[in-house]
Amino acid sequence: MERIYLIFIFCSLFVANVFAQQELSGIVKDEKGVGIAGVSIRVLPSGRTLGATNDGGSFKVTIPAGSTAFSFVHAAYETQSANIVSGKVYYTISMSDKSVEIETVTVGYVARKKESLTGSAVVIKADEIKDIPAANFTDLLQGRVPGMNVQLNTGTPGVRGSMSIRGLNSATVNMSGDDAYLNATSPLFVIDGVPVDEGNSFEYGFQTQGPGVSPLSMIPVEDLEEIVVLKDAQATALYGSRGAYGVILVNTKRGKSKIPIVSYQSKYFVNTIPSLRSVIGGINERRMRVNQILQNDTTYESALDLINRTPMLADSLNAYYNNSTNWQSYFYGMTLNTQQSLNISGGDQSFNYKIAPGYYKENGIVQNTGFTRYTMNTNMQYRPSNKFLMSVFMNANMVRNSFGSGNAYQQRGVATGANTTSLLPEPSIYSGSMEALASTNVMNDNKTGYANTQVQLEYEIFKGFKATSNVNFTYDNANQDKFTPEILNSGESLIYIFNSRQNKLYNRNMLQYNTTFGTEKHNLLTYFFNEVEMRGFRAEAMQLIGTGSDNIQTALSYNTRDTKGGVLDNLNTFRSASYAGNMTYQYDSKYIFELSYRLDGSSNRGSAGLWSHNPSVGLRWNLNSENFMEDVDWLSLANIRTSWGRNIVPTGSIYDAYGRYTMESTTYNGLPTVTINTSQIPNTNLEPIVTTQLNLGVELGLWGDRLMVTYENYYKQVDKELVDLFLPNILGFEKQKVNEQSIVNIGHELSLFYRPNFSNPDWKATIFANGALNKDYLTDLVGDMRQEINQHTDPNLSYIHILKRLGRNALTNILYDYRGVYQNDSDVPVNPATGLRYRMGGILGDDGFFRAGDPIFTDLNGDYVLDEQDLVFAGNSQPRFTGGFGATIQYKNWSLQPNFVFTLKRDIVNNAIANYFRAYYNPAGGGALLPIEDYNYWTPANTSADYPNPFDFRRANLINAYRYNSTLFQEDGSYLKFSSATLSYNVDRDYLQSRWNMSGLRLFLTADNVYTFSGYSGPDPELVSALGYDTSDGYPRARRFTLGLDIRF
């Protein structure tokens, strides 16, 4: 809380120089010395408007007591302020013409004036985010773009957090139980004008093959110029199918200064470990186990018997529990990391260049994990005449990373091992915790090389008519070497080798025509382009068992019988060809009408209809250009825009469309036979997923754009999602992939920017805040179903099932409704018909009846039996409200940038806590106990408890009080995160120049992932899967402190 106070103090610092009420006068002139009429005069700090200048530019006002400065505002001039000086009664103010900076945004590969856009685009300048070290720039966008939900749900170095634009795009849950994950629907990234697919082999699910390094994590943050997030269909339609889930445009820096600039940025950052869990340790654990048995067994004799039959408990001198190690100190450690980058650029309009080498090294806080990146990004631009432009990009990057014994998302071994404090659970050899050894001794060395080259040519054939062509080639090569020593693999070492390569050729050719006619009032911009992409992917893997010695870590093993290897079945060749066009008509820069259309063909599609059509239309009304708005001077900007559009995403593979034919193992009459694979019937009528989006946006600039308000409202419908339809047995095939699942997202987004006006020009500040409210609804299910339950294959109901029901939110948990603990036996309801107490279903005998200390689960159907009929629908794993706020506050050379992000209303299933308690189910068994004394659980002495009796181990498996699928563990995962703060200092330029011959020096301190405010009982409400499961075996996120400097020559 202290940190929050700090901010308030900063905000109130500018109160100074207070004056009493008095009358003041003066004149406001323009640059030529002519008085300006109609300048409104406000007084600070109250901001009250006191009056306006007369026709001659003169004014006379009475300022209220406590005023410190004037502010002069006029639509056509830059706002000017003047301090009120004691004793001075006449003021001469000079106002300069408002410099009109045309802000352009590149949408659909064409740079456009921001005020002509009909779609929804949010621009993030790299300067706003560059001070936070990150392997992946997308992590820095958290809380910056309303409607873009970024959850940093993994701390694995180099792996990005989850990201979705405008709600839930897919309701398809893969796998089930703890391993369930949502279909990934990644936005399209367009990097320097080239679409980049994250591809299927990157970061999806838990079975990430190979190094899992996405092309996105190859981009150094320091090399970014700006990031544009396109959210609605009008903005994304020109990107076709792949833009259905939003488009993120990334532009890297280019040279523009005539004098060559060398800038160097250096950051050192410390990753600190989050608070570790407390553990019991050694002899205490044995005592706890013995006590639990003695106090909770059915009889004393039975308890003694159980203890005596468990040698490690019976023998008070045993080595297991008389040693104690906090393994966490071996798994986790603070690390020092660095990011270095150099940017050399220069040139002028006709020729410029940039060379940007970079280095990033981050050691994970989990032993044996890390991410190191070497980058060399270059570009050059040549413009011999106004008609011709050529630019070339050449980027070569390399990444080395290691996941230790885990994968991109999980460190299951470490998570399990961290609980252990003793030599128990015993390993196969007397060596302590296997997980501990695995995490430190598994050699996991991944290399990914990425080369990306691009040539852009532009030629203006005649005025307004331009032709551009763009050719890009990328190649990436990923390799994984993983070696598990024999001690960790039942006496035989294990080698896993993975190699993949992906190459892509991309070409875009565009014709563009821009003309103005009819007294310059009509403007028409049209363009047409085609895009072709060819992509190939192939991966090979090899697994060798047994090398004879741990010193031999590769080469052919002696155990050739168990050696596996070959080309993985995810090899693919992909081609796409697209044609797109756009027409934008503007009348007087007031009314804008835009139409675009794109045809997409891809080799993934079924035979029926090769092309998918992506139309969109947008309208915009720049209200502030209207005559009647001229008098409304508090409103400096106003526009309304609306759009409708569709993105059509082809789905399914060639096998889904045409079937898979396989040779049968049996012959007939001695002749070979071929069958069509009967698990899935081909569907040549596979239709693409259709995303339809309606968008309404209002942008307002108030008081000379000091307050900018953007409100957007959207309706997004995702139709025809590809799902399995199970077929009746008369059709031979098991199932069919059909396009029958729809979800609708409705949301509101609000974004605010505020630049307060300070009387003291040493002070500057920008404050931003944004938030988005999204609700999803399931509107269609496969095969006319009204509801569907995604079951875990394991029929025992302790796993969470997911309900999909029409009209509800798309993904609902199905749980037992926990209502507390029975304080006494007499609190258990008794069935009046039978005289029997409420009991567990499926269990005969006295132990099945609930008693004191047992959980109260609602008996939904009133039959006095708890069984699956009593499950309730509860919870929504998707966040309802996300956003962030922050500020940049500058005082002279000092600058402070605090940032906050929040997620509100989200249900998390805290399996981690459930596991704490479940460890007590079997005191005589393996596993490790964790201390639970912080929780208010039932004991005979403490009957008024929140948690049921954890020690009743004889009945634990019958009653299953700590079942995962209970509302006891479903918690609200709302949080407010103080995500980062940067304090920086710019050294005075004149001093630098004279003393060091530098043109700039900036020092900064950054803290990120500072603190999370949350009522959630688990370690981190953000560190959960997309379905809201907190299984505690994720990679914790480090708190980081950075010291950095920027030098410019």
Give the interface with another protein as residue ranges (CB under 8 A). 532, 567, 569, 571-577, 579, 599, 601-603, 605, 607, 610-611, 654-655, 657-664, 666-676, 678, 681-684, 725-733, 736, 738, 783
Handedness of CA 939, 942, 943, 944 (dihedral sign): negative
CB of 574 to another protein, least distance (A): 7
CB of 684 to another protein, least distance (A): 7
CB of 1013 to another protein, least distance (A): 49
CB of 603 to another protein, least distance (A): 4
Which strands, in side-by-side order, build the sheet including 40-44? 48-52, 40-44, 69-74, 77-83
Q: How far apart are CA 180 and CA 184, in angstroms?
A: 12
Residues near 565 by Cβ (< 8 Å), separated by ≥ 6?
Answer: 540, 541, 542, 543
Q: Which is nearer to another protein, 464 or 783 (CB)?
A: 783
Q: Which is nearer to another protein, 42 or 737 (CB)?
A: 737
Q: How far apart are CA 507 and CA 473, in angstroms?
A: 9
Would you state the structure tokens that stand for residue 257, as one six-digit string?
A: 């200064």
Q: How far apart are CA 85 and CA 26, in angstroms?
A: 13
Q: Which residues of 701-721 are buried (b: 16+ CB within 10 A; e: fewer)?
A: bebbebbbbbebbbebbbbbb
Residues near 906 by Cβ (< 8 Å), separated by ≥ 6?
Answer: 876, 877, 878, 879, 880, 972, 973, 974, 1021, 1028
Tokens 């023998």 map to which residue? 315
Q: Which is nearer to another protein, 524 or 568 (CB)?
A: 568
CB of 789 to another protein, least distance (A): 15
Identify the helix (H) or strand (E) that includes residue 655: helix 654-658
Q: Which is nearer to another protein, 18 or 567 (CB)?
A: 567
CB of 238 to another protein, least distance (A): 18
Would you state the structure tokens that stand for residue 485, as one six-digit string?
A: 């020593």
Residues near 473 by Cβ (< 8 Å), separated by ≥ 6?
Answer: 452, 453, 454, 503, 504, 505, 506
**Residue 619 burial by CB count (10 A; 0-12/13-18/19+): exposed, middle or buried?**
middle
The string of DSSP codes covering 736-785 is: EEEE--EEEEEEEEEEEEE-PPPSSTTEEEEEEEEEEEEEEEEEE-GGG-
CB of 728 to another protein, least distance (A): 4
CB of 726 to another protein, least distance (A): 5
CB of 737 to another protein, least distance (A): 10
Q: Which is nearer to another protein, 433 or 578 (CB)?
A: 578
CB of 678 to another protein, least distance (A): 6
Q: Which is nearer to another protein, 574 or 593 (CB)?
A: 574
Q: Which is nearer to another protein, 29 or 613 (CB)?
A: 613
Q: Which is nearer to another protein, 585 or 611 (CB)?
A: 611
Q: Which is nearer to another protein, 62 or 662 (CB)?
A: 662
CB of 958 to another protein, least distance (A): 24
Q: How far apart are CA 409 and CA 181, in angstroms?
A: 12
Q: For residue 608, what is the DSSP state?
A: S
C-alpha distances (whole Å) from 67 to each of 13, 70, 80 are 15, 8, 16
Identify the helix (H) or strand (E) that includes residue 63: strand 58-63
Q: Check: CB of residue 564 under 8 Å from CB of residue 601.
A: no
73 closest CA partner among 628, 757, 627: 757
The string of DSSP codes covering 405-432 is: TS-SSB-HHHHHHHH--SS-S--SSSSS
Q: Which is nearer to another protein, 599 or 987 (CB)?
A: 599
Half-sphere CA count of 910, side-chain side, radius 13 A: 20
Q: How far apart are CA 647 and CA 691, in angstroms?
A: 5
Q: Which is nearer to another protein, 35 or 659 (CB)?
A: 659
CB of 514 to another protein, least distance (A): 23
Q: Which is nearer to another protein, 262 or 577 (CB)?
A: 577
Q: How far apart are CA 1010 and CA 886, in angstroms?
A: 14
CB of 840 to another protein, least distance (A): 25
CB of 507 to another protein, least distance (A): 12
Q: Which is nearer to another protein, 702 or 725 (CB)?
A: 725
CB of 491 to another protein, least distance (A): 35
Work out the angle between the directed axes of helices 412-419 and 434-441 (0-180°, nearest 10).
140
CB of 456 to another protein, least distance (A): 23
CB of 647 to another protein, least distance (A): 19
CB of 457 to another protein, least distance (A): 23
Do β-strands 839-840 and 865-866 pair in parallel, antiparallel, or remain unpaired? parallel
Q: Which is nearer to another protein, 665 or 944 (CB)?
A: 665
Q: Which is nearer to another protein, 60 or 735 (CB)?
A: 735
Handedness of CA 27, 30, 35, 38 (dihedral sign): negative
Q: Which is nearer to another protein, 575 or 764 (CB)?
A: 575
Residue 189, phi then psi, degrees to nearest 5? -105, 135
Q: Which is nearer to another protein, 116 or 741 (CB)?
A: 741
Do β-strands 1029-1030 and 975-986 pair in parallel, antiparallel, or remain unpaired? unpaired
Residues near 188 by Cβ (< 8 Å), separated by ≥ 6?
Answer: 195, 196, 197, 236, 239, 242, 243, 245, 246, 247, 248
Q: Which residues of 27-38 are buried (b: 16+ CB within 10 A; e: fewer)?
A: bbbbeeeebbeb
Q: For residue 101, what is the DSSP state?
A: -
Handedness of CA 18, 19, 20, 24 (dihedral sign): negative
Which strands, in side-by-side order, build the sheet including 722-726? 680-681, 735-739, 722-726
297 closest CA partner among 288, 287, 307: 307
Q: Which is nearer to another protein, 395 or 602 (CB)?
A: 602
